Amino acid sequence: MLILLLQVGCYLLAGVGAAALLAILIALYKSKPYPLITRHKDEKFFLDTDTIKTIEFPSLDDSPTLELSVIVPAYNEEQRLPAMLDECMAYLAQKTEKQPDFSYEVIVVSDGSSDSTVSVALEYSKKYGANKFRVLELVENRGKGGAVRLGMLSARGRQLLFADADGATKFEDYEKLAEALASLAPEWRHDGIAIGSRAHLEDESIAKRSFFRTILMHGFHTLVWIFAVRSVRDTQCGFKLFTRATARKLFNSLHVERWAFDVELLYLAERLQLPMTEVAVRWTEIDGSKLSPFWSWLQMGIDLFMIWLRYMVGAWRIVASEKKKN
């Protein structure tokens, strides 16, 4: 009986292994070497709430016309978005008072939201004007990475910051990132990334998390180190600042549009040997996360392996590398 059970177990394992291998081969076969960046016609325009006219977004390939663009990806964030935007806009207004030559814009990217996210964001556009506040409404859900990418491709800044809609990171810590980025890249044509990091809070977070969530966290960090990024301790903090030159390289090469996009961005940056630095930021966990710890981290673990495999076998290629060769 025991031998029969062992045989059945072996057959099952072999079947699962064969199915997994087949799925990997199909995924590799279907992979396109360069990302196909699609944009619906309506996604190329924003509403000027003063004139009630639609105006075409500029392009990341254009020369910058202001200092900072803040990209806020938002999916069904009508509840959490106002607090984040109030803090963000208050800080930016205060900074402009102290530094009159400092200019900025905020772009909220609604990622196919089905709630009132767009209406909430448009109220801020009415209040501050479309020159400072714009809303990019995606007609379908692409994932956080896809939303951030289209926001970046529509931005005017010399520096481009993406900040999560939950407001978990203290927005005034942008100052720390800007200072760190300036030491890497004195101007926007140079490459550099300043990465908001919660690594200094790890011991405290472990004390608050359940044992299961702690195991998942360490497992994910291990997979990131094995398959993708080795020079950054916290790849997932939603507070990263790029020079315009770096944003052009990375967001035109990004394939992953869902939660693991941060890892691919930093993997690409390591491959391209772009200057990066981690900066400790203040961070507070905010209720309302869309992530389910186990299933989301399992999916991200699979994504990490597939990112590594696709680049290793050449199924995915880096746009910036090819441009450099040519």
Tokens at 315, concatenated: 């199924």
How confident is the model at residue 16, as a pLDDT?
A: 47
Using the structure block, give the residue that is written with the tokens 């069904």.
Answer: 76
Identify whether the C-beta of residue 145 lies closer than 8 Å to the C-beta of residue 256.
yes
How confident is the model at residue 145, as a pLDDT?
A: 95
Identify whether the C-beta of residue 235 lies closer than 8 Å to the C-beta of residue 262.
yes
Identify whether the C-beta of residue 180 lies closer than 8 Å to the C-beta of residue 242.
no
pLDDT digits (tens, 9 = 90+) for 25-67: 565 556 688 898 999 999 999 999 999 999 999 999 999 999 9
Tokens at 29, concatenated: 């076969």
The whole-angstrom separation of Cα 19 and Cα 17 is 5
Give SS3 for 146.
Answer: helix
How confident is the model at residue 146, as a pLDDT?
A: 96
CATH superfamily for 38-206+233-291 is: Spore Coat Polysaccharide Biosynthesis Protein SpsA; Chain A (3.90.550.10)
Nearest Cα residue to 74 out of 108, 114, 106, 105: 108
Identify whether the C-beta of residue 220 lies closer than 8 Å to the C-beta of residue 303.
no
Give SS3 for 154.
Answer: coil
The whole-angstrom separation of Cα 191 and Cα 60 is 15
How confident is the model at residue 31, as a pLDDT?
A: 66
Could you list the pLDDT tens digit for every one of the 326 residues in the chain?
556 555 555 555 555 455 545 555 565 556 688 898 999 999 999 999 999 999 999 999 999 999 999 999 999 999 999 999 999 999 999 999 999 999 999 999 999 999 999 999 999 999 999 999 999 999 999 999 999 999 999 999 999 999 999 998 999 999 999 999 999 999 999 999 999 998 776 655 444 445 556 676 777 888 889 988 999 999 989 999 999 999 999 999 999 998 889 999 999 999 999 999 999 998 887 776 665 666 677 788 888 999 999 998 888 999 866 555 55
Identify whether the C-beta of residue 206 lies closer than 8 Å to the C-beta of residue 305.
no
How confident is the model at residue 220, as a pLDDT?
A: 81
The whole-angstrom separation of Cα 71 and Cα 75 is 13
**Vertex 172, ends 183 and 100: CA angle to 5°?**
75
Q: What sign results for the dihedral spanned by CA atoms 107, 255, 227, 185?
A: negative
pTM: 0.87
* Burial class for 66, CB neighbours closer than 10 Å (0-12, 13-18, 19+): middle
